[in-house]
Amino acid sequence: MRRPESHFHNHPGVRSGIFYFLIILCILQGVKWVLSRGPMEIPAAESVSSTPATKARLDTIRASLANQNSWTLRPLDPNDLDDYKGYILGIPFYVLDSLYAFMSKGGRITGMEAFKKISGLPDSTCQRLSPFFRFPKYATPKESPKIAKMRDLNTATAEELQVIRGIGPVLSKRIVRFRKALGGFRIASQLRDVYGLDPETAGRAIKAFPLRTVPSLEKIDLNRASAEELSGILYLNREMARDIVAYRNRIGAYENLEQLNSVESLPWDKIDRIALYLKL
C-alpha cells in the first residue's frame, strides 16, 4: 500500500500561511500580556509600610486611576511629579518625598544626573525612567543664596510663598491675611491653622521659611481681662471668652494656663495657641 503523503507536501503557500499565522498569534499574545500588566506596581517596601498617611496617598491614587482622563505614560517634566504619576512610573513614596523636599526649597531638577543624585535611585532604574522625562531649561533665580537664607515666615510676601509646591496665589494671600490678623506668627506651627493649607504643604513652607523674628506682643491678663477683651484673640469667639470668665468667677483666679483645659468650650488642640496670648 502506498504511504499517504503529508497534507503540506508540495503546498508551499499553505506552509507559509501557517508559519505567518503562528508569528501573528505570538505577537498578539505578547501585546495582550503587556496590556494586562496595567500600571507599574509600587515596590514591596512601600506596601509593607501601611501607615495612615500611605493609605491616604494610595486612596487618592486609586481615585485617579478610576478617572479615564488620568495621566498616562508620556514624557513629563520631573519637577511636575506627584504621587499618581510617581505610582504609574513605579517610583517609591520615599523617593518622591525626597524630590518634593528638594523642590520645596526652590530647587529644580535640570537633568537626569541631577534626578539620579537627588532621588538616590540606581542606574538601572534611572535608565528605565529616562525616556519618560523631559527637562525644560529653567532660568537662573534672581534671588541670591544669601537673600534666600534671610527668608522669614513673618516677613515673606505672598509672591515669595508661592515658590512652595502646593501654595498658589489664593493660599499665599490667605496666609498673609492670617498672619496679619495674628499680629505675626508666635510659633511656626501656627501656619498649620490657615484654612485650606494641608499639613504636608505647611511643613514644606516652614522648612523653606523658618520663623526668624517674633514681633513683640502685649499679652492679656487672664485673671483681669473681660470677655470682650479675651474675644479679641483670634482663636477665641465670644462664647469661649464668656466661658473662660465664668470659670474664673466660679473657681477663683487661674493659677496656671493649664487650667484652660477645664473650660469645656475651648478646642483642646488650640489651647496651646490661645495660651500664647495670655499671662497670669
3-class DSSP assignment, residue 160? helix
Mean pLDDT for the stretch of residues 105-109: 78
Indicate the pLDDT class of residue 114, thresholds 50, 70 and 90.
confident
Mean pLDDT for the stretch of residues 17-34: 65
Indicate the pLDDT class of residue 30, thresholds 50, 70 and 90.
low
Report the chain's mean pLDDT, rounded to a whole number. 79
Indicate the pLDDT class of residue 243, thresholds 50, 70 and 90.
very high
For residue range 131-144, list pLDDT tens digits in order. 888 887 655 444 44
Q: Strand 220-221 vs strand 278-279: parallel, antiparallel, or unpaired?
A: parallel
Indicate the burial class of 56 (C-beta count within 10 angstroms; 0-12, 13-18, 19 or more): exposed
Question: In the predicted model, is pLDDT for residue 188 greater than 80?
Answer: yes
Cβ–Cβ under 8 Å, residues 87 and 39: yes
Indicate the pLDDT class of residue 32, thresholds 50, 70 and 90.
low
| Dist CA 100 CA 84 (whole Å) | 14
Identify the pLDDT of residue 174.
94
Mean pLDDT for the stretch of residues 2-20: 57
Q: Which three cell numbers stand for residue 141?
A: 533665580
Question: In the predicted model, is pLDDT for residue 47 greater than 80?
Answer: no
Question: In the predicted model, is pLDDT for residue 42 greater than 70?
Answer: no
Q: Where are the alpha helices (DSSP H) in the chain?
A: 12-37, 44-48, 52-65, 83-89, 93-104, 112-119, 123-129, 145-149, 158-161, 169-182, 199-208, 227-230, 238-251, 271-275
Neighbours of 68 (CB within 10 A): 5
Higher pLDDT, 43 or 189: 189
Identify the pLDDT of residue 46.
45
Higher pLDDT, 43 or 103: 103
> Percentage of residues in the chain with pLDDT exceeding 90?
30
Identify the pLDDT of residue 101.
82
Write the CA distances from 39 to 15, 91, 134, integer angstroms: 40, 11, 20
Question: In the predicted model, is pLDDT for residue 71 greater than 50?
Answer: yes
- Lowest model confidence (mean pLDDT) among 23-27, 117-121, 163-167: 23-27
Identify the pLDDT of residue 13.
60
The number of residues in the chain equals: 280
Domains belonging to the chain, first-starting first, are 51-132 (no CATH), 145-208 (1.10.150.320), 220-279 (1.10.150)
Residue holding cell 522648612? 207
> What one-character-per-residue DSSP string does 84-137 give?
HHHHHHT--HHHHHHHHHHHHTT----SHHHHHHHH---HHHHHHHGGGB----
Mean pLDDT for the stretch of residues 111-140: 82
Q: Which three cell numbers stand for residue 140?
A: 537662573
Q: Which three cell numbers stand for residue 20?
A: 505567518
Identify the pLDDT of residue 130.
87
CA angle at residue 153 from 152 to 156, to 5 degrees? 75
